[in-house]
Amino acid sequence: MALQSYNPKINQAFGEILAESTLGEIDLKVSQSKHAFETWSVSSGQQRAEFLEALAAELESHRESLVQRADQETALGLPRLNGELDRTCFQLRRFAQIALSGQAFKYFVDPAVAGAPPVGHPALLKLKIPLGPIAVFAASNFPFAFSVLGGDTASALAAGCTVVVKGHPAHPQLTVDIMTLIDTVQRKLGLPGVITLVQGQSFEIGYHLIEHPFIAAGAFTGSTRGGAALQAKANARSRPIPFYGELGSVNPIIALPDGISTHEKEMASTLAGSISLGCGQFCTSPGVVILIDEAKNIQSNDLFVFELTSSLKEQKPHAMLTSGIRSAFNFGVEQFLKFGAHPLVYELSDSIEPRPFLASVSATDFIAHEQLRDEVFGPACLIVRSASIAQTKEVLESIGGSLTVTIWGAEKKSESTVGILRSAMSIAGRVLFKGVPTGVAVSAGQQHGGPWPSSTTPMTTSVGDDAMDRFLRPVALQDYPDWVDQSKGYAI
């Protein structure tokens, strides 16, 4: 099957036709990755940092052409794409510093204690080793930051793993352009095969990659359906491997009593911008707003809905990433209406740029129909009218898992705020008390991953310093000889 670039702005294909990777070519790339792992896995922090820094510099030196290409294939706009390239280089350099600091080589010495167990025990040295070649599945909505040189690749490299990238078919030429730059750096530093690339639209390509016996783990950002299919393949192997998938999320916002009072217009305007940001194609786009209709705040809630409706009607989202994503948006909206959502902002259209969608539904109906809890990728949001704090907790429980939950109006400690916080923490990886969930900081304290369906492994994060831990495995060495010396600062 052939690959070709597609310009969402004009709904037309353009550029040269690219061939999909064959199964034999995939086997070759994985074998190259396995061979490179033998030396990269025992590289020093200095070597890893040098590679990551060089990759960032190469991206920046070709900024103009890369951003132009990305805009042609995604319609995300030059300001957004320049910012995303900055974030990608920041991630690469941050993991370079982490590698240089020795975090990937941390170890724990547990000296021998004389005597019989349980008090006595032999000498133990606990360390972490890189898993092996990692299959990284690039995302459609972040052509830089979650793609070929995105966070998964950067963190895996810092951990001492090699990477086989499965490029996303939504931006195939950009993927080739970036891989060309990577190969330039790899030749210069004498690191062939540390990063390799496979391309294609066929599901079989992704399945073959994740099933390859040399692949030690998978990292994926995308739809729940796609991630679940790949996870099933990873689990069905004769030797199952970890699969780190960041999937769908509705990112509920809860307005507690007095949470929006006197600020209805301002907060509605901010939320409307968040719903439409990037045409709603963010993993943390707010898809559910829960309003608690107690007697004292029904009037405020109604005013907020009015202001949100007005603000959202004024939003003009740009074209969606692909025609398939555009069709899926229409289908998701139709499902909401089919299962009882009352439309507030709704304009059915097949135009390239979708119109925002806003609808209202009772908490009872939301809990009863799982179709109302599905993520609709795009500028769509449901207002859920809840009767009480207790019913709001039931709404959160029905969602099951989310990357984020935002709580407005929890400034003072009370039985209600503590209870809602506990419910939010039980389903989300990140809980916000101000603002909106769009925007994920790359930092030491970040957690980007929550219970299913937001991710496959809620104990890990795909953003932030701890992302590297996904690609390291602990090993204990008992009664180890003197030559096992970790003071040198890199792997054995």
CB 101 within 8 A of CB 198: no
CA pair distance 469, 155, nearest whole angstrom: 8
Q: Other CB atoms closer than 10 Å to residue 389's CB: what's the count?
A: 19
Q: Rounded CA gap, 213 and 237, in Å?
A: 8
Taking the CA of residue 346 as centre, how many other CA atoms within 13 Å lie in the half-sphere pointing to its CB? 15
Q: How many other C-beta atoms lie within 10 A of the C-beta of residue 4?
A: 14
Give the SS3 label for residue 437: coil
Q: Please identify which of the residues 89, 279, 283, 381 carries the catalytic annotation.
A: 283
Strands (E) across 142-278 are located at: 163-166, 195-198, 217-221, 243-246, 253-255
Q: Which of 73, 246, 264, 307 is catalytic?
A: 246
Q: Omega into 453 within 30° of 0, i.e. cis?
A: yes
Helix axes 45-61, 172-189, angle to 10 degrees: 130
Which is nearest to 291 in space by CA: 331, 268, 332, 259? Answer: 259
Q: What is the DSSP string of 267-324?
A: HHHHHHHHHHGGGG-STT---EEEEE--GGGHHHHHHHHHHHHHHHHH------S-HH
Contact 153, 468 (CB under 8 A): no
Does residue 283 have an active-site annotation? yes
Residue 440 burial by Cβ neighbours in a 10 Å radius (0-12, 13-18, 19+): buried
The amino acid at 94: R
Closest alpha carbon to 143 in 81, 65, 223: 81
Tokens for 81? 């794409």
Q: At what angle do helices 45-61 and 78-101 cross, to 10 degrees?
A: 170
CA distances from 154 to 55, 108, 279, 462 (A): 10, 25, 27, 11
> Residue 175, Cα to own-chain centre: how many angstroms?
18
CA atoms within 13 A on the CB side of 234: 22
Helix (H) or strand (E) holding 4: strand 2-7
Q: Is 378 exposed, middle or buried (0-12, 13-18, 19+ CB in 10 A)?
A: buried
Task: Return the active site residues.
Answer: 246, 283
